[in-house]
Amino acid sequence: MAELKTIKIFDTTLRDGEQSPGNSMNIEEKLRVAKQLQKLKVDVIEAGFPIASEGDFEAVKRIAQTIKGPEIAGLCRSSEKDIDRAWEALKYAGEKGRIHTFLATSEIHMKYKLKMSREQVLENAVKAVKRAKSYTPNVEFSCEDAVRTDLAFLVQVVEAVIAAGATTVNIPDTVGYTIPFEYFNIIRHLKENVPNIEQAVISVHCHNDLGLSVANSIAAVQAGAGQVECTINGIGERAGNCSLEEFVMAIKTRHDILPFKTNVDHEQIVPASRLLSTITGIGVQPNKAIVGANAFAHESGIHQHGVLMEKSTYEIMTPESIGLKANVLVLGKHSGRHAFKKRLGELGYDLSDEDLNRAFERFKALADLKKEVFDEDLDALVADEVMRP
Ligand code: KIV
Ligand code: ZN
């Protein structure tokens, strides 16, 4: 098999994720999440936006002082004040500190938000990168709203910031607007038309407004991107960011067709997801890919029978590979005799064929009345059956 290219995982749970309603965290909470991200072995932790508040400054500083292994990034706008403040917090990470500065490049943002011309944006972007570079060799520049930016101008900006010293250039889909085919072409175009592109890593940062953030990120790495920005549970502005667990497991599960790997320790995925939910109080939807409560639960009899015979009939990855103990066979009206018998066995019941048949009939009648049949229901049902004259 061809050698797999390693894609860097840049986790922005503590910055873009935290920016979304209900997800803000205090310093201690951010530090707990950062420690779990360290165990997860992400390559970069974006710890916050130091100029945004005293609390965020302190959180970035504490994370920079404490976490060993991943690089620590802090976000800042393209102004001297922002950049200086970011480094003030990040300097404790030493050579692992990364300044992440950004400026919008789309016509709509330049006209209505920045009120700047293309020339001014280009000049400011270069100035910002040079300022950041005076502190650290590790500088990322983001062309905010890159997907809605004129492609020729995007080429110009990317070339200029790399010449100024950016070692990572991010091409965000800030408003979650692109589709995989289009995003692939944008990244490919940059790869083919920016003369100094090989001097920097192309990063992608996808929002999920159309539910395409993971698909778009995959298309981007196929076109040559080397870093993917994502969050635990896909939290983030509006509909969220590319979900770390979905991207990582897609890459791992389909390496037959996607020649990539990540450094992530995937068995730490479920602990990371649960820790974040516990801290923010926001649970994940039950049918969420990878970490939802139903992602490894089977209710239908046909599926239950299949996984009892051979798990890969209905599971494309093992629950253990993401840090779950086992899959779950949920007993409900679609369940079959195999799963029913197995659960009774786990509960310590060994019924004769005749008792089992009668108990199964009563179980089906009960399941028609309830969404799920629990172990306590089975205890009562079996006791009833066995005590029957
Ligand atoms: O979505 C976005 O464009 C961002 C940038 C600041 C990277 O979050
Ligand atoms: Zn974003």
Please determine, for residue 365, whether its predicted confidence score (pLDDT) is greater than 70: yes
- pLDDT value of residue 325: 83
**DSSP one-letter code for 367:** H
| C-alpha distances out from residue 66 to 93, 241, 297, Å | 8, 26, 38
Q: Alpha carbon 74 to chain centroid distance?
A: 18
| C-alpha distances out from residue 86 to 25, 73, 143, 381, Å | 19, 9, 18, 63
Q: Where are the beta strands (DSSP E) in 67-123?
A: 71-77, 97-104
- Percent of the chain exceeding pLDDT 70 equals 98
Which ligand is nearest the CA of 241, by number? 2
Please determine, for residue 384, whether its predicted confidence score (pLDDT) is greater than 70: yes
Cα–Cα nearest to 110, from 141, 75, 156, 144: 144
Q: Is 82 in the pocket of ligand 1 (CB under 6 A)?
A: no
Is residue 109 marked as binding?
no
Q: How far apart are CA 260 and CA 176, in angstroms?
A: 24
Band of residue 348 on the pLDDT scale cut at 50, 70, 90: confident
Is residue 16 marked as binding?
yes
Band of residue 386 on the pLDDT scale cut at 50, 70, 90: low
- pLDDT value of residue 389: 46
Residue of 385 and 140 predicted with greater confidence:
140
**268 CA from centroid of ligand 2 (Å):** 24
Output the six-digit token pair for 112: 């209505």
Which ligand is nearest the CA of 149, by number? 1
Q: Where are the beta strands (DSSP E) in the chain?
A: 5-6, 8-11, 44-48, 71-77, 97-104, 139-144, 168-173, 201-206, 227-230, 260-261, 297-298, 328-329
100 forms bridges with which residues in the sheet? Answer: 75, 140
Contact 217, 234 (CB under 8 A): no
In this structure, the residue with its CA closest to atom 2 of ligand 1 is 174
- pLDDT value of residue 366: 93
**242 CA from centroid of ligand 2 (Å):** 10
The model's pTM: 0.93
| C-alpha distances out from residue 300 to 326, 327, 336, Å | 17, 14, 7
Q: How many CB atoms lie within 10 A of CB 232?
A: 28
Is residue 208 marked as binding?
no
- pLDDT tens profile 113-137: 999 999 999 999 999 999 999 999 9
Q: Alpha carbon 247 to chain centroid distance?
A: 7
Please determine, for residue 33, whether its predicted confidence score (pLDDT) is greater than 90: yes
Measured from the Cα of 241, ligand 1's closest atom is 1
Element (H, E) at 269: helix 269-280
Which ligand is nearest the CA of 177, by number? 1
- pLDDT tens profile 81-111: 999 999 999 999 999 999 999 999 999 999 9
| C-alpha distances out from residue 245 to 141, 181, 250, Å | 25, 22, 8
Output the six-digit token pair for 98: 């990364």
Reported ipTM: the value is 0.99
Q: Is 16 in the pocket of ligand 1 (CB under 6 A)?
A: yes
The protein residues having their C-beta less than 5 angstroms from ligand 2 (an ion) are: 16
- pLDDT tens profile 50-59: 999 999 999 9
Output the six-digit token pair for 177: 């607007």
For the chain, what is the mean pLDDT?
Answer: 95
Q: Is 144 in the pocket of ligand 1 (CB under 6 A)?
A: yes
Per-residue pLDDT, averaged over 66-82, amounts to 98
Is residue 303 marked as binding?
no
φ/ψ (deg, to 5) at 41? 65, 40
- pLDDT value of residue 161: 99
Maximal CA-CA distance, the chain: 91
In this structure, the residue with its CA closest to atom 1 of ligand 1 is 174
- pLDDT value of residue 1: 63
**100, 139, 140, 170, best to mutate for ligand 1 pocket (most atoms within 8 Å of CB):** 170
In this structure, the residue with its CA closest to atom 5 of ligand 1 is 144
Please determine, for residue 215, whether its predicted confidence score (pLDDT) is greater than 60: yes
Comparing 130-144, 187-201, 295-309, the range with the smallest average pLDDT is: 295-309
Contact 71, 97 (CB under 8 A): yes
Band of residue 257 on the pLDDT scale cut at 50, 70, 90: very high
Q: Is 142 in the pocket of ligand 1 (CB under 6 A)?
A: yes
Query: CA-based angle 25:12:244, to the nearest 5?
Result: 110
